Homo-oligomer: A and B are copies of this chain.
Amino acid sequence: MTITTASMVSDHSAVAILAAAREMCEPALRESVGSLPEPLNRMAGYHFGWWDVAGMPTRVAAGKALRPALAICSSGACGGAPPAAVHAAVAVELIHNFSLVHDDLIDGDRTRRGRACVWTVWGTADAILLGDALHALAYGVLADRLPEPLVGAAILRLEAAALEMCRGQWEDCAFETRPPLGVDEYVQMALGKTGALMGCACALGALCAGADEATITAMDRFGRELGLAFQFADDLIGIWGDPAVTGKPAGNDLVRRKRSLPVAAALASGSAAAVELAQLYLSETPLTTADVARAAALIDAAGGRRSAQLHADQRVAAAIAALPDLSAAADLVALAHLSARRDR
């Protein structure tokens, strides 16, 4: 079963799948978020792009809502009705957004999707408390809205994913002072930071469809592999993304000297470009615009760009190979391809 009609299956099918899943989940998401106590509900609605700081309705670019789409499509692929996974999708989206609110603060990112972050508008305390509230709400949605026999298993999966994310974000922060020892260590971090929750989204979709344990485990694996592909594509965008499309400065990850996959792969190449990159990247002085452009060229010359795209494509293949049954998984396959090849 798919949530797209035949006419939607085109070049833009993955975009249509995301839009359909977002439309299916948004009423439940708005209802949950609306139940938060004032003013946490108001800050949350700002974060989700529903209104501005003063509470006036806005039309801003929404998030991709990839995780809800994974839950919905996983339910469909496992023979469930897609709406069966709506509340699981909402819970996963709440966890994702709790982590965004906290991570923006931790990373010192002042903007998200071209708008001021919650902590930039309301300060550190409110950003911590809003993240905590969204975190709690996620478990509440599962406990309140899933069929009783599924509640315990669903919450254990969501909790495990949240813990992996905490650990992944911790490693990502640690890489600022103690760089990853190589590509493998970087992949381990990305699995926690990004893969775990995508795997959880797929597993919960399968759980809500009544799938057996082996299928749920396979769907978790699919989501984790897709999550890695997504993260690696994100790393490419962080260096070569078009600021007009991403809403972020050019070479944003380089300005911040992030040890993302293209950088780690380039530094590990042992080439002349790698030596020059190391000198530039590991110095203490702030990088100029010319330095950033030079670093990007060196990463490319050292094979970091090609390597990261190859890693992303390999993870997509691994994701699709993990699917227990391809007969109803066209939407999931489309989402996997989108994850590795995108411009924002």
Nearest B residue (CB) for A176: B125
Bound-complex Cα distance A126 to B176 (A): 13
Set B130, B137, B153, B169: member contacting A159, Cβ < 8 A: B137
The verdict on A22 contacting chain B, using a C-beta distance below 8 Å, is: no
B106 touches A124 (CB 8 A): yes
Interface centre among A102, A124, A130, A136 (most CB of B within 10 A): A136
B143 touches A159 (CB 8 A): yes
Please encode chain A, from 151 to 169, with 1 for each CB lying within 8 Å of some chain B CB and 0 for all others: 1110110111011101101
Which of chain A's residues 291-310 have a Cβ closer than 8 Å to chain B? none
A167 touches B102 (CB 8 A): no
Nearest B residue (CB) for A139: B139
A128 touches B125 (CB 8 A): no
Q: Hey, which chain B residues are within 8 Å of A162, CB to CB? A: 132-133, 136
Bound-complex Cα distance A136 to B105 (A): 19
Q: Report how many copies the assembly holds.
A: 2
B129 touches A155 (CB 8 A): no
Set B124, B133, B163: member contacting A163, Cβ < 8 A: B133
Bound-complex Cα distance A98 to B144 (A): 23
Stretch at the interface among A35-43, A71-79, A328-336: A35-43
Given contacts A106-B125, A173-B125, contact A155 B133 (CB under 8 A): no
The verdict on A135 contacting chain B, using a C-beta distance below 8 Å, is: yes
Question: Nearest-CB distance from A146 to chain B (Å)?
Answer: 8
The verdict on A140 contacting chain B, using a C-beta distance below 8 Å, is: yes
Set B98, B151, B169, B170: member contacting A152, Cβ < 8 A: B151
Given contacts A102-B128, A132-B102, A170-B39, contact A152 B160 (CB under 8 A): no
A143 touches B151 (CB 8 A): yes
Extra inter-chain contacts (16) besides given A132-B166, A143-B159, CB under 8 Å: A36-B163, A37-B164, A37-B167, A40-B167, A98-B132, A106-B125, A106-B129, A129-B166, A129-B169, A135-B136, A140-B159, A143-B152, A144-B152, A148-B148, A151-B151, A151-B155
- Interface residues of chain A, those whose CB is within 8 Å of chain B, are 36-40, 98, 102, 105-106, 124-126, 128-133, 135-137, 139-140, 142-144, 148-149, 151-153, 155-156, 158-160, 162-164, 166-167, 169-170, 173
